[in-house]
Every structure is written in structure tokens, then in C-alpha cells.
A and B are shown apart, each in its own frame.
Chain A
Amino acid sequence: MDENGRSIPAESDEEHGATTLTRRGLLTGAALAAGAAISARAAKAVGAQAAPDPTKVPGARPQVVGSRSPHETPEKLISGSIGGVTRTPHHELHGILTPADLHFERHHHGIPQIDPASYRLLIHGMVDRPMLFTLDELKRFPQVSRLHFLECSGNGGAAYRVDPPTDISPQAMDGLLSTSEWSGVSLATLFEEVGAHPDATWFLAEGSDAAVMSRSIPMEKAWDDAMIAYGQNGEAIRPEQGYPARLLLPGWEGNASVKWVRRLELSDRPFMFRDETSRYTDPLPDGRARIFSFVMDAKSIITHPTYPTRLEDPGFVEISGYAWTGRGVIERVDVSIDGGATWEAAELQEPVLPKCTTRFRHAWEWDGEPAHLMSRAVDETGYVQPTAAQVRDVRGPGTRYHYNSIRGWRIAADGTIGFAAS
């Protein structure tokens, strides 16, 4: 499937939405197989542990590492990419944090295995003192910890299609989004330590995966809020997220936050790597293409109620989801139940943090009639999440990346739910 979700057999770029994302893929493929495995697993565990009255038998002993209840089996959705794509199960999560083992993945060449003892970060180029840092040395610098979303800029490509599928879940549609608390050393600290030249304007960030992933990043981002992160949700970063250390660029497209980072080279011009020219650029209708379009604009998605959930009976439904923006904080989220004809402000759950997902909630009484749910984020700059038609107007139907248009869900009288673009 191509960047716009069309089925083209000879195509590799899976981050925009793959053929495995529709009902057939979901149900006959991964989900069914996984479902069978899960129920077997759950049955075994429950059979072994469940007592008719848990107050009448001693409970299980504690373990050195905890595990989920055997009744809870959230899973990432894997696309069969040669590089690696997995999507976060939004519909099974609460609040804003993504458990580290459910964080989305988009690798270009697999997950490298790196020995932390031999890890080095090299910083060189336009600096007074080219330096090598071990992982332990990185950890000796003053630490920063902040909550930020990461989103692949190809996330949600299927929603941008003129004829999007209806039988698609928020995980399949927008699963290349996750939120973590990231801990590490501020890049400004490291760049001061090596004596960054004042006339350095860009730096190269290079990973030690088999893609040797490389991006050019403006120095301003280093002086603003970039970090070299080695911690995620309290523990060491997982191998899939860049163990032992990654670049983290809050609010910017995920690809630029280079994982497994091994080298930073300061320069006075960008490097024009493949993943900032051939990929991760945005064609425009006037025959030009945006380059270095790093910032993720405001976006929101409803995570409940959505396909494949079915509303059983009329009555109370909490409409809930995430909103986020790479430009600061979410100011407001509007929810519509009539396809955008009227909007009401949703409740924003604290904390509302910059460059982080914000959970929104909206109390709704479903009367059993067909409804058309939508959510619309507004950020602190006054940017209002656009409709797909608005984006197509300015960027054309074939543009790639930054698919942040309003998502809709049609609820039928029988309670079944299907995706509906805006």
C-alpha cells in the first residue's frame, strides 16, 4: 500500500497504512491468530490460578518482575514490513502514558542489539573538543525527565484517502503515536561540554542500526528542548525505542528522533540524507516539496467509542481520546456528534503538558439514533485541526506525511461503528 493507502503490490512504505489494516487483515490475520493464542494462554493461567472465592485461599507470591493480568492482553499490531512497523493499541489504554512494551515502532532496518558497555556517543564537527561519551558518562550529567508524545509523520495515511476504509480501528489508523516519560541529558548540556561553535547551524544525528539512520537537525532545537534519552517510563529505554540511548526531539516527526544514536556532527549546512529528501518531505500542488517539515501540527483522535466496538444499548457513553500538538499545549478539544454541524468543548484531563498527548473526555447520552462523532483539537497558537478536505485543498490528494485531519466515526442505529473521514 502506498503513502495514500492505495494497494500497489510493489511498494514498501508501510507507515502510511498497510493492507493488513482492514477488517480482513485484522480479523483473519494477526488478531485471530493472536486471539486464539491469547485465550489458550489466558485459560491456562486462569485455570491454574482462579479460585471460586479468592478470600478462602492464600494468594500468589510476589515475583521479581510483575506481569499483566492473564485477562488483559493488549498487543501491538504488526505490519509485515521488512524494516519494522508496529502500532499502539489506543483502544486498550487509559490516561496518556503508553506502556513501554506497547510503544509503536517504525524501524528502517530492524532493531540492533547493542552492548551498553561498548556503547559510545561521538560528538564532533564544528566543536572545540570532539568527545566520546560512554553510557555511564551520559548518566553523570544533570538529568531531565519530561513527558512527550512521539508520532511517525506517516501516521494516519489511510484517513487521508478519498475513500478510506470504514472497518479500521484507531490502532490500525493512528497507532504510530505513543507517549512516554523520557529521561536523559539535555543536548544543550552536551553541546556546551564539547564547545559547540556559534556558527554551527545544523547537526547530523546518526543511529547504529543497519540503516545507519541519519537526519540533519537545526541547532536551534538543541538549544531549545532536545535531549539524549536513556530512560523511558522509569526504566532503561527498550531496544525497540533506541537502547541504550536515542535522540529525542519533542513535538517533531518521529523519524528525526534518531534511535540508537551513535554520532552527532555539527555543521553549517544540512546533509541532505535520503530520509530527509526522498522520504519525509511533503509534495505541494505547485510542484514544490516541503523539506525539513519537522513539527507535528495539532491533531486529535477519538479512542472510544470506535470500530470495532459496538454500543450495546442507548445510554451513557464517555467519548474519549487524545489530542496533541508539536507547537506547545492543547488549548481546547471540540467534540461533535452530528458530523461537525455543531461542536461542544470536551473536558481536558490534567495534566495538560506541552508537546504531549492530552486526554479529553466528553459525557454523552446515546439515544439509539445514528450519530457521527468527531473531535477537533485547537492548540495554543490558535491552529485548529483541519478537515481532510481543507488539507487536500492546500496540499493535494497525493501529498505525503502529516495526516492530521479530523477523524470521524459513524454510529449506526444497531450500535455498530465505522470510520468516516472529514
Chain B
Amino acid sequence: MKPGEESRRRRTGAGLIDGLAALAIAPILGGLGCAPATDGAAAAPPSPPTQAGERAPSAESAPDGRMYGFGTAATAADIAAFDIDIGPDGAGLPPGQGSVEEGLAIYEAKCIACHGATGSEGPWDRLAPRLPADEFPFAEDPSARSTVGNYWPYATTLFDYTRRAMPFEFPGSLTDDEVYALVAAMLYMNDLVPADAIMDSAAVTNIVMPARDRFVEDDRAGGPEVR
């Protein structure tokens, strides 16, 4: 059964799911190595309205195919107020821009106390420098420190994270232009862009980070083999 099929079945009243049907999800899960819940009841989608007794909604309460009819429709403004995520394809990057020079000035004012003059002195996370691009010694060398330049697969993540979480004491306080500038500065500190670089949505999307192709799907799957 495909996700979504159950809702179609349910909306058309084409039968109730049971433990056996839930087990059909197993092959899809196999690829991710996550076992389905072992008892059918736990894996089954929620009790159908017939079992929910008086909570079963009437046809009028959910005219658009909803099962229960609780909750309110989210408006575009409701969504915009929370929708801050940036995708690896650049989706969600706002208008604006910032230069390395502007970014280094903001870094000195707002970041240096926790991340150090060159991004490597701490006391908190090391943002720079990077190792040569063909080096990724982290599994073999416990003393090797990962940084933005040698570990992060996408520069879009740098925009997303800096905007949502930094600076630590004032998260969410930076303007979009400031975030672009800081992204430019952090990439510069990692020798990934020149000193005169300017970051905007296209530039951030187009940066190919050295670790881009390092990440692989989890191949642990239970069973006797240690991975």
C-alpha cells in the first residue's frame, strides 16, 4: 500500500485497515532500514470513526474529505509566519545580498566571542578552516575537527542555520542581508570564496561545498552484520 492510498480508501469508505494491511508498509520501510512496529495494532493508522464513538464527525463537519474535521485551515499568512526553511536547491532563499567585507565586520561584532578570530579558536563550534578537499579523516583520526568548510555538504544550510539560530544569545535577530554577508564571510574563512565575493540567493545555491558528495544512505539494516 502506498502512503495516501489509505486516505483514499477511507474517504471512499472502501474498507478499514487492519494489522495485516499495515504490514504491507514493510517493503517500503526496508530501504530505510526501519522496522515496522511488530504488533499490527501499533502500526495501523488510527481507529476509524466507528470506533471513536461520539467523536466520529458527521458528514457536514468534514465536507472536504477530512475524517474528523478538527483544526482550522492555515492561511498564506499563517504559513509565511513560520516558513523559514531553506532547501538544498535554494528554495526559500529570500531576496537580498551581502559581501565578505560586510560579513567580517558583523562577525567581529556578533560572533567572534564564541567562535574565535579565524573561526577556529572557540570556545564554541569551529567554523573554519577547512582541510584540503580530498581529505575527510574524521572516522580514522579522532583529533580531526570538522568545520563548515570540510564537512557541510550545502551552503544553503549555512544560511538556514545562521538565520534561525545565531548569534546564540539573540537567535533570529539578523536581517537577511546580514545573513548573506555572514555566509560570505564564513565561506571566505574556509577559502571557498575570494575576498571580494558577494552572496545572494543564486550564489549561495551555486556554491559546491567540498563535502557535497561524501554523504551516503544508512546501510545498517539489523541482522548479524556489524556496520
> Which residues from chain A sit less than 8 Å from chain B, CB to CB?
2-4, 6, 9-13, 82, 108-109, 122-124, 128-134, 137, 140-142, 144, 146, 185-186, 188-189, 191-193, 195-198, 200, 204, 206, 210-212, 214, 218-225, 250-252, 262-263, 265, 267, 269-274, 277-278, 281, 283-285, 287-295, 297, 326-329, 354-355, 379-384, 386, 390-391, 393-400
Smallest Cβ distance from B80 to chain A, in angstroms? 10
Q: Collect the chain B residues with CB atoms within 8 Å of residue A11's CB.
A: 122
Instruction: Pick the interface stretch among B165-173, B174-182, B185-193.
Output: B165-173
Among B5, B37, B71, B211, max chain A CB count under 10 A is at: B71
Q: Collect the chain B residues with CB atoms within 8 Å of residue A10's CB.
A: 116, 121-124, 126
Interface membership of B84, Cβ < 8 A: yes
Indicate if the CB atoms of B146 and A278 lie closer than 8 Å.
yes
Select from chain B the residue with minimum beta-carbon distance to A210.
B171
Indicate if the CB atoms of B215 and A277 lie closer than 8 Å.
yes
Query: What 20 additional pairs, Cβ within 8 angstroms, besides A223-B6, A252-B34, A381-B35?
Result: A11-B122, A122-B74, A132-B74, A141-B70, A186-B45, A204-B85, A206-B85, A210-B171, A212-B172, A218-B34, A221-B32, A262-B82, A271-B88, A272-B87, A272-B153, A278-B152, A289-B211, A292-B32, A381-B221, A399-B138
Select from chain B the residue with minimum beta-carbon distance to A136.
B70
Cα–Cα, bound, A2→B138 (Å): 12
Indicate if the CB atoms of B34 and A188 lie closer than 8 Å.
no
Number of residues of chain B lying within 8 A (CB) of chain A:
92
Q: Collect the chain A residues with CB atoms within 8 Å of residue B43's CB.
A: 224-225
Select from chain A the residue with minimum beta-carbon distance to B216.
A288
Interface membership of B14, Cβ < 8 A: no
Contacts A10-B126, A185-B46, A287-B214 given; does A354 touch B38 at CB 8 Å: yes
Contacts A224-B36, A289-B215, A394-B226 given; does A133 touch B71 at CB 8 Å: yes
Cα–Cα, bound, A297→B219 (Å): 12
Q: Collect the chain B residues with CB atoms within 8 Å of residue A287's CB.
A: 136, 214
Cα–Cα, bound, A306→B84 (Å): 47
